[in-house]
Amino acid sequence: MVASFGGLQVAPAVMDGAFRNAPILFEPELAGSGSLDVTQTLHGEFGQDFYPIAEWITNSCVFLGSVGKVVVHHDAELLLVGESFGDALRVMLTADQVLPVLKVC
């Protein structure tokens, strides 16, 4: 299903909520370019496989875990977006909660 989103850009409903929001670009190949080491690290930390699904805030990569956890990674930190894809999509569209920092990179 996620592969069929390739190239889909979604404008969030709320730009200034609990954080400064940005459009979501569902482009797994672009988002995942060069992220093999990140997926291996995420697997080690959370015990599930992670797949790049989108670029989001400051061109950070959004990863979807095989059990449903969604995280966003950029050079400075790893943030939790949601424990499920549905929760994460809500957060990405509404900016209704602060993104917890899971790890400072």
Q: Which pLDDT tens digit goes with each residue over 10-63? A: 888 888 888 889 999 998 877 777 788 889 999 999 999 999 999 999 889 999
What's the total number of domains in the chain? Answer: 1
Q: Is 86 within a domain?
A: yes
Range of the domain at 83: 19-104
The answer to whether the CB of 12 falls within 8 A of the CB of 95 is: yes
* Residue 11, in any domain of the structure: no
Residue 5 in this model has a pLDDT that exceeds 70: no
Instruction: Classify residue 29: in a domain, yes or no.
Output: yes
DSSP 74: -
Instruction: Give the burial string for 7-17 (b: 16+ CB within 10 Å, else e).
Output: eeeeebeeeeb
User: 14 in a domain, yes or no?
Assistant: no
Would residue 4 count as lying in a domain?
A: no
Residue 7, in any domain of the structure: no
